């Protein structure tokens, strides 16, 4: 048996015989063993014992080559621990999912896992001999342990990742950073990270929760490292990142001044070093050059972000509407804007004209501005040659093109993308130059105060610059792909004013023909895409001329709830072009010939491209509409080969009260409207009862309903929540309010258990008080007394 193993076994046996040794007491012996075996194998091995104040932290040991390459991690348990049980614990499963090369040990038995799968195991000795017999146990599987450690030390991240592999490796480490490092630090309200949270909450996103901040901050770190790695030539690590991030991206520099040069917690250092090691092993430049997906353009940074999001948190894409815009869609919109500038605004240079100002208010990774910049440069070079490209960049693109983005990861990626684009065009940014993409919420008008958080002055500086563009800068072109979110996170007094008043003379979306909409539930007007369209309309209305060009949910084209919005748009703009791309799987849309109709995005909601033009001329004017059905690839090909002049748009004449933006047969409309409306026939109406908790409130028999009510009303609030699996309280339904409702006036009372028509021909029983925000969320007594 090698001397190192014999010495190790003697040390841990002595510790075990003392009887009072803690798990941490064994760490030095294992650290020495690993380093000596590594040296014997001719390897440079450094072992770091990681402090772990909570069970939610990192593994106990990190093994690395001392410079850039993390070899693996080791999770140790007390001698004699039942490793079979540890193996199935939530903690170890989390480690196995995050770290591809991991050893689990009780200092006597060693188990090696590769990519979460048990690869090798070796039993050096039996701990009960030291524990019970008080003697040094004989060594057993020495050769197996040597082989296991050889395999462990030999691990290295593959020198060349595919984009999918790299995204997967980064995603699982970023999740760990979010859930196990950042979130606990914020919840515990300690350290510099909590200071960042307070600054973000106060100066950037009001109402930001710890969970949301942890997500934003984790993604920012990973993509900040990714951005820095693209600029590194040679080895790369965490400490180098700060110097590689352009000084003009102030917020990202602030974050990495702390990450690279400050004192993050040991737990954060470990996982961030691991992310940096993954990036160090990857040939990022080669990936960016080669990464291409057919039909989605040649934007590797954008596609890499999409791949990362799909691995990291697919729900985020749906909640925030974070989906890349396919390049054929982007190109069609940008070409359309370019044509309209030439044809309607007498600007023969189109996007290259010095008078054009452009804004993408929900820019994501800057796909639309990048395409506009590329077309502007192409036009300039064709007309004026290569000689003045640098002057063109600095006199037009940098001062006149703007973008807003709320999420830091796509914000960082977008800056990186524009940098690469300009380098490819032969006009790289000089020191101190930046593209005017700002970290801000386009739908938030409150200007931020100067932050007092050390190292985060750039937050308020960014806000001030963005506010000037939002409020004062006349914009000629507003374009993009705003998020679609039926339950909008953008709820503030300014967006309410924007939608519900005739702001600066632009008709409210909540009125039609001079009267209120009269909708009891106009929630779809609160969708984010509606707010972004309204923001764009407001900016162009104020400027007196301009173009809005966006791809959005197509629900507003014919949904009756949007009739005020449609009338408002007709009043503001002189020309409107609608290209309905359909693809609505919610409606099970098919092509007119019965063939498949697919969405251009990976979403279920149908979409449409719209151009809204305000030029003030007598002609041309009107609303024009076209449909595009077919497979995704067919739509991509059509968009690449057509433009506004060849799309076959049909002229429409919208009529009161609906102002449809789609073709409708209207010859019998007068006769139809002569009949009584449904609200006239049923003047008392609503959506019916909302219980908010069917499992608690709806029962098959009166006895079951009564027993539940009695038990629930008498329980402690927390016990009731757990017993009936009620989850978190909602705004209009809370456990405490439900119990108070049952106890009102000395209740509960048996005679309040009544039958309810739960569904057609489905009679069940409930306890009915008729009080809102009580046992039932919305009891709707005016309707339900008839049911």
Q: Is the pLDDT of residue 54 over 50?
A: no
Calculate mean pLDDT across residues 395-404.
97
**Average per-residue pLDDT in the chain?**
87
Residue range(s) occupied by CATH 3.90.1570.30 in the chain: 3-153
User: 443-447, 474-478, 580-584: which range is least confident on average?
Assistant: 443-447
Reference 440, options 182, 246, 223, 206; nearest CA is 206
- pLDDT tens-digit series, residues 527-554: 999 999 999 999 999 999 999 999 999 9
Supply the pLDDT for residue 292.
Answer: 42
Q: Is the pLDDT of residue 225 over 70?
A: yes
Calculate mean pLDDT across residues 274-290.
81
CA distance 239 to 696: 55
pTM (predicted TM-score): 0.75
Calculate mean pLDDT across residues 199-228.
85
Calculate mean pLDDT across residues 624-640.
96
User: 155-164, 445-454, 737-746: which range is least confident on average?
Assistant: 445-454
Most confidently modeled range among 138-142, 166-170, 380-384 = 380-384
Q: Is the pLDDT of residue 323 over 70?
A: no
Supply the pLDDT for residue 688.
Answer: 84
Peptide bond into 748 cis (omega under 30): yes
Supply the pLDDT for residue 406.
Answer: 85
- pLDDT tens-digit series, residues 111-157: 999 989 999 999 999 988 888 888 888 889 999 999 999 999 988 77
- pLDDT tens-digit series, residues 731-759: 889 999 999 999 999 999 999 999 998 88
Reference 540, options 622, 471, 479, 474; nearest CA is 474
CA distance 603 to 620: 35
Most confidently modeled range among 12-26, 202-216, 322-336, 744-758 = 744-758
- Give me the CATH code for the 3-153 domain, please: 3.90.1570.30
DSSP state of 734: -
User: 32-36, 391-395, 446-450, 592-596: which range is least confident on average?
Assistant: 446-450
pLDDT band, residue 621 (cuts 50/70/90): confident
- pLDDT tens-digit series, residues 484-529: 765 555 677 888 999 999 999 999 999 999 999 988 778 889 999 9
CA distance 210 to 138: 52
Beta strands in 378-504 (DSSP E): 401-405, 436-439, 477-480
Q: Is the pLDDT of residue 778 over 80?
A: yes
CA distance 309 to 512: 41
Supply the pLDDT for residue 56.
Answer: 46
Supply the pLDDT for residue 66.
Answer: 63
Q: Is the pLDDT of residue 452 over 60?
A: no
Supply the pLDDT for residue 457.
Answer: 66
Calculate mean pLDDT across residues 174-179.
90
Calculate mean pLDDT across residues 157-181.
82
Supply the pLDDT for residue 321.
Answer: 47
CA distance 281 to 133: 48
Supply the pLDDT for residue 77.
Answer: 93
CA distance 182 to 213: 9
Supply the pLDDT for residue 294.
Answer: 37
Q: Is the pLDDT of residue 482 over 70?
A: yes
pLDDT band, residue 67 (cuts 50/70/90): low
Supply the pLDDT for residue 485.
Answer: 67
Supply the pLDDT for residue 448.
Answer: 52
CA distance 360 to 442: 10
Q: Is the pLDDT of residue 189 over 70?
A: yes
Supply the pLDDT for residue 458.
Answer: 75
Calculate mean pLDDT across residues 91-102.
90
Strand pairing report for 622-627 and 575-582: parallel
Supply the pLDDT for residue 610.
Answer: 98
CB atoms within 10 A of CB 434: 16
Most confidently modeled range among 373-382, 465-474, 728-737 = 373-382
CA distance 770 to 301: 56
Share of the chain above pLDDT 70, in %: 92
Q: Is the pLDDT of residue 263 over 60?
A: yes
CA distances from 356 to 349, 581, 604 (A): 10, 28, 35
Residue range(s) occupied by CATH 3.40.50.150 in the chain: 327-652
Supply the pLDDT for residue 460.
Answer: 75
**SS3 state at 419:** helix
Supply the pLDDT for residue 490.
Answer: 66
| Domain 327-652 CATH class label | alpha beta
CA distance 739 to 710: 10
pLDDT band, residue 784 (cuts 50/70/90): confident
The long-range contacts involving 341-344, CB below 8 angstroms and separated by at least 24 positions, are 341/476, 341/477, 341/547, 344/575, 344/613, 344/615, 344/617
Q: Is the pLDDT of residue 55 over 50?
A: no
Query: Is residue 143 exposed (0-12), middle (13-18) or buried (19+ Cβ within 10 Å)?
Result: exposed
Q: Is the pLDDT of residue 331 over 90?
A: yes
Beta strands in 65-173 (DSSP E): 70-76, 101-105, 109-114, 117-123
Cβ(443)–Cβ(470) under 8 Å? no
Share of the chain above pLDDT 90, in %: 51
């Amino acid at each position: 048996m090698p001397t190192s193993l014999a010495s190790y076994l003697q040390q841990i046996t002595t510790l075990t015989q003392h009887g009072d040794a803690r798990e941490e007491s064994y760490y030095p012996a294992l650290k020495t063993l690993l380093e000596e075996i590594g040296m014997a194998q001719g390897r440079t091995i450094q072992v770091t014992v990681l402090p772990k104040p909570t069970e939610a932290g990192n593994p106990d040991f990190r093994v690395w080559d001392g410079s850039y390459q993390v070899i693996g991690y080791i999770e140790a348990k007390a001698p004699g621990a039942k490793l079979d049980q540890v193996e199935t614990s939530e903690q170890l499963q989390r480690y196995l999912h995050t770290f591809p090369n991991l050893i689990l040990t009780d200092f006597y038995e060693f188990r090696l896992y590769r990519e979460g799968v048990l690869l090798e195991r070796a039993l050096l000795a039996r701990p009960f001999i030291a524990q019970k017999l008080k003697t040094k146990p004989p060594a057993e599987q020495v050769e197996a342990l040597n082989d296991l450690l050889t395999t462990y030390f030999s691990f290295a991240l593959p020198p060349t990742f595919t984009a999918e592999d790299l995204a997967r490796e980064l995603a699982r480490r970023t999740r760990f950073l979010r859930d196990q490092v950042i979130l606990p630090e914020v919840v515990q309200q300690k350290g510099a990270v909590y200071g960042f949270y307070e600054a973000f909450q106060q100066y950037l996103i009001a109402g930001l929760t710890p969970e949301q901040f942890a997500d934003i901050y984790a993604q920012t770190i990973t993509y900040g490292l990714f951005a820095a790695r693209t600029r590194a030539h040679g080895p790369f690590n965490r400490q180098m990142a700060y110097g590689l991030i352009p000084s003009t991206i102030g917020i990202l520099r602030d974050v990495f001044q702390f990450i690279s040069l400050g004192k993050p917690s040991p737990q954060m250092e470990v996982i961030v070093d691991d992310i940096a090691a993954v990036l160090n092993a990857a040939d990022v430049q080669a990936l960016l050059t080669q990464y291409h997906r057919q039909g989605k353009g040649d934007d590797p940074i954008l596609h890499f972000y999409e791949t990362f999001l799909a691995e990291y948190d697919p729900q985020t894409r749906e909640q925030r509407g974070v989906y890349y815009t396919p390049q054929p869609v982007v190109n069609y919109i940008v070409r359309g804007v370019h044509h309209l500038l030439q044809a309607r605004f007498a600007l023969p240079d189109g996007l290259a004209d010095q008078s054009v100002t452009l804004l993408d208010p929900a820019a994501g990774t800057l796909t639309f501005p990048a395409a506009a910049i590329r077309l502007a440069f192409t036009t300039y070079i064709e007309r004026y040659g290569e000689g003045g490209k640098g002057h063109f960049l600095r006199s037009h693109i940098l001062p006149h093109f703007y973008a807003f983005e709320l999420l830091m990861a796509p914000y960082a990626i977008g800056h990186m993308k524009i940098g690469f684009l300009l380098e490819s065009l032969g006009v790289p940014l000089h020191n101190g130059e930046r593209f005017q993409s700002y970290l801000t919420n386009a739908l938030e008008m409150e200007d931020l105060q100067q932050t007092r958080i050390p190292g985060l002055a750039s937050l308020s500086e960014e806000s001030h610059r963005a506010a000037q563009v939002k409020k004062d800068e006349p914009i000629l072109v507003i374009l993009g792909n705003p998020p679609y979110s039926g339950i909008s996170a953008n709820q503030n007094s300014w967006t309410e004013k924007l939608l519900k008043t005739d702001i600066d003379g632009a008709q409210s979306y909540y009125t039609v023909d001079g009267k209120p909409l009269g909708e009891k539930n106009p929630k779809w007007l609160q969708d984010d895409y509606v707010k972004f369209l309204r923001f764009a309309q407001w900016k162009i209305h104020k400027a007196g001329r301009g173009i809005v060009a966006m791809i959005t949910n197509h629900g507003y084209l014919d949904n009756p709830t949007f009739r005020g919005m449609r009338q408002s748009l007709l009043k503001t703009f002189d020309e409107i072009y609608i290209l309905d791309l359909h693809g609505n799987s919610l409606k099970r849309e098919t092509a007119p010939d019965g063939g498949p109709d697919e969405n251009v995005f990976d979403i279920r909601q149908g979409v449409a491209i719209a151009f809204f033009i305000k030029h003030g001329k007598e002609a041309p004017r009107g609303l024009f509409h076209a449909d595009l059905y077919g497979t995704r690839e067919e739509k991509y090909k059509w968009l690449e080969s057509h433009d506004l002049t060849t799309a076959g748009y049909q002229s429409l004449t919208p009529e009161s009260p609906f102002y449809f933006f789609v073709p409708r047969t209207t010859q019998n409309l007068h006769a139809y409207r002569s009949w009584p409306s449904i609200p006239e026939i049923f003047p008392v109406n609503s959506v019916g009862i909302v219980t908010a908790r069917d499992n608690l409130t709806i029962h098959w028999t009166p006895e079951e309903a009564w027993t539940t009510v009695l038990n629930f009303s008498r329980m402690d609030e927390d016990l009731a929540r757990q017993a009936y699996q009620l989850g978190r309280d909602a705004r209009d339904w809370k456990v405490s309010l439900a119990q108070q409702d049952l106890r009102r006036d000395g209740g509960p009372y048996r005679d309040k258990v009544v039958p309810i028509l739960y569904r057609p021909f489905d009679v069940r029983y409930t306890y009915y008080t008729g009080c809102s925000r009580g046992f039932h969320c919305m009891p709707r007594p005016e309707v339900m007394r008839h049911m």
